[in-house]
Amino acid sequence: MTLFERDGPPPEGDAEQAFFNWQRRGAAQFRHPHAFLGLMCNLLEKNYPDLLQELLTAGARKVGFEDMVPGHLLSQYQPEPNDDQLWVLMCRRATIETVLRRYVEREATLTIANTTYVTDVLVEEKDAQPANTLTTIGLELTDRQDANKKSQHLADIIIDATGRAGKFNSWLGAKGAKVTEERDDAEIVYYTRHYRLKPGVEEPKRDSDNPSAGDLGYLKYGVFPGDNGHFALIICIHNDELELRQAVKEPGLFDAICNSIPGIKPWISKDNADATTDPFGIGQIHAVWRDYVHNDGPKLLNFFAVGDAASRTNPLYGRGCSTGTLHAHILADVLAANEDPWQRALAFKQRTEAEIRPIFDASLTEDKRGIRRANATRKGEALDKAKSLKKWFTLAFGDALVAAARYQLHVHRGIMRTVNLVEKPGEFLKDPKIRNTIFRYMLRGRKRNAKARIQAGLERQEMLSMISHLTRQNAKAPLPAGETMNRTNNAIDEQPLSLNA
């Protein structure tokens, strides 16, 4: 098996070198923080316990359900049999990628061809294949050091794992394949800044009243604890929040915004942590679903797309690595169980739709809700106003669910099962005990329940006033040493990705 990779390998040394020095333009999200959820963690633990051990040795941390229970719910905590599925790995993506890459390099059946672009897919000549089929037979490759150096690689099976920038859909479409794509814009830009705790400083304790991830309506925020004292703060803003988007690119203003949010303020106090990067952003946050298997077009044979190349969700939910890992395992099962190329294609489609699609659909629903909330807040309109009885019931149920999860451990556990993707999204709502609790909370009334959603932080207008005040102040006074107000030197990747980047 040969793996073609447009980027070079990780630099010599540990994840620290990789984090600061690895040129990783092929994965634009490389330096954005990642959470690795239960679904992926359980697959790693079951199939690659040695890899998991290497990750832990490199500094990744295994954080279990009990460790994540908010303090005010701990008194209700009694272990349950499936709690051990609910755990996450905390580390930088640079750490996981470096360890994973070295693990994969030791696999004797695999060759990795670095700095090699895949620039097209090769298909069987029309006359050489049965009618109404399109069989992929290889790849066109371009050497990244020398764009004129092209070659071909023939293969029995092509697996597209080229991520969010993948172009197989266009290449195959141009050759007559039927490829359908659903694409929805989440309408957000995602900004990150990394920090490192000072030597000897512990991570701040979890604060039940002020969670370290939340939604102010116009802005979503979160802390991603990493490995070896590193952590990152993220801020997500609607595309149209132009003033805020301009502000978060400034290191000083990014910190000022984070300092105004009680849930994340303790992380970046000057006594606790130092910034290790400027803020940087990524746009083009789309939910994308691609389908290559259709009965009413040529049968596309020996081609499979996995991970982001096939199904992409909003990074806010931290699902992509889990669904990508699951998708790759589904493909391995399908290839092992079927010899016939078309049966393989059908079986892969069927399992992808059964196991990945519900996660995609739930993410899309959450995106649409997020867009509605952000638009309403920006326009100063009432949030979640019910226009019909059915809508009122849905909203009241949603508010009651949030409130019940805040105060009842069994509801919180149910939500965590969905968050960690260890069951289909929302499956926990079939549990009669959880349903009864939510209905009981509905009786308290929407107003009271809705309060559980509200995170402490400035109202939008207050935030904008603070930013404009600080901007005026900064224009008059020099910034402290180490702080920059340079609007141009941040690695903002809000442009469409280009293969020739």
Question: Rule CB under 6 A: is residue 322 a binding residue for ligand FAD?
Answer: yes
Q: What are the C-alpha distances in Å from 127 to residues 124, 293, 371, 405?
A: 8, 22, 50, 61
CB 266 to ligand FAD: min, Å: 22
Question: Rule CB under 6 A: is residue 120 a binding residue for ligand FAD?
Answer: no
Question: Rule CB under 6 A: is residue 311 a binding residue for ligand FAD?
Answer: no
Angle at 168 between CA 166 and CA 171, to 5 degrees: 130
* Token digits of residue 241: 């929040």
The torsion angles phi and psi of 271, rounded to 5 degrees, stand at -75, -20
Q: DSSP secondary-structure letter at 11?
A: P
H-helix segments, 210-340: 242-248, 251-259, 320-337
CB 386 to ligand FAD: min, Å: 33
Instruction: Enumerate the β-bridge partners of residue 123.
Output: 136
Q: What Rg do the C-alpha atoms of the chain give, in angstroms?
A: 24
As a whole number of Å, the end-to-end CA separation of the chain is 27
Among 225, 279, 315, 341, binds ligand FAD (CB under 6 A): 315
Q: Which stretch, 173-181, 255-263, 318-326, 390-398, contacts ligand FAD (CB under 6 A)? A: 318-326
Question: Rule CB under 6 A: is residue 282 a binding residue for ligand FAD?
Answer: yes
CA 365/CA 317 separation, integer angstroms: 12
CA 402/CA 393 separation, integer angstroms: 14
Among 22, 117, 171, 280, binds ligand FAD (CB under 6 A): 117
User: Which of 190/304 has CB closer to ligand FAD?
Assistant: 190
CB 426 to ligand FAD: min, Å: 19
CB 280 to ligand FAD: min, Å: 10
User: Which of 162/352 has CB closer to ligand FAD?
Assistant: 162
Question: Rule CB under 6 A: is residue 29 a binding residue for ligand FAD?
Answer: yes
CB 352 to ligand FAD: min, Å: 13
User: Which of 115/228 has CB closer to ligand FAD?
Assistant: 115
Question: Rule CB under 6 A: is residue 222 a binding residue for ligand FAD?
Answer: no
CB 407 to ligand FAD: min, Å: 27
Residues contacting residue 261 through CB under 8 Å, at least 6 positions apart: 214, 216, 221, 455, 456, 457, 458
Binding-site size for ligand FAD (CB under 6 A) equals 32
Among 163, 358, 398, 426, binds ligand FAD (CB under 6 A): 163
Question: Rule CB under 6 A: is residue 252 a binding residue for ligand FAD?
Answer: no
As a whole number of angstroms, the longest Cα–Cα distance in the chain is 74
User: Which of 59/226 has CB closer to ligand FAD?
Assistant: 226
CB 61 to ligand FAD: min, Å: 15
Q: DSSP secondary-structure letter at 493?
A: B
Among 193, 238, 319, 417, binds ligand FAD (CB under 6 A): 319
Q: How many residues does the chain have?
A: 501
CA 210/CA 456 separation, integer angstroms: 7
What amino acid occupies position 372?
A: R
3-class DSSP string for 374-432: HHHHHHCCCCCCCCCHHHHHHHHHHHHHHHHHHHCHHHHHHHHHHHCCCCCCCHHHHCH
Question: Rule CB under 6 A: is residue 92 a binding residue for ligand FAD?
Answer: no
Element (H, E) at 181: strand 180-185
Instruction: Enumerate the β-bridge partners of residue 141.
Output: 118, 151
User: Which of 319/412 has CB closer to ligand FAD?
Assistant: 319
User: Which of 148/295 has CB closer to ligand FAD?
Assistant: 148
CB 248 to ligand FAD: min, Å: 14
Question: Rule CB under 6 A: is residue 307 a binding residue for ligand FAD?
Answer: yes
* Token digits of residue 251: 């290191």
Among 217, 324, 370, 425, binds ligand FAD (CB under 6 A): 324
> What does DSSP say about strands 299-301 and 133-143: parallel, antiparallel, or unpaired?
parallel
Among 318, 341, 425, 457, binds ligand FAD (CB under 6 A): 318
Q: Which stretch, 161-169, 177-185, 343-351, 479-487, contacts ligand FAD (CB under 6 A)? A: 161-169
User: Which of 420/455 has CB closer to ligand FAD?
Assistant: 420
Going by C-alpha positions, the residue among 165, 158, 198, 147 that lies closest to residue 30 is 165
CA 371/CA 354 separation, integer angstroms: 27
Among 34, 220, 299, 406, binds ligand FAD (CB under 6 A): 34
Among 18, 22, 32, 65, binds ligand FAD (CB under 6 A): 32
Among 44, 121, 122, 165, binds ligand FAD (CB under 6 A): 165
Element (H, E) at 113: strand 111-113
Question: Within positions 421 to 460, which residues make up the interface with ligand FAD, using CB under 6 A?
Answer: none
User: Which of 4/77 has CB closer to ligand FAD?
Assistant: 4
Contacts to ligand FAD by CB under 6 A: 4-7, 26-27, 29, 32, 34-36, 117-118, 161-166, 190, 282, 307-309, 315, 318-322, 324, 499
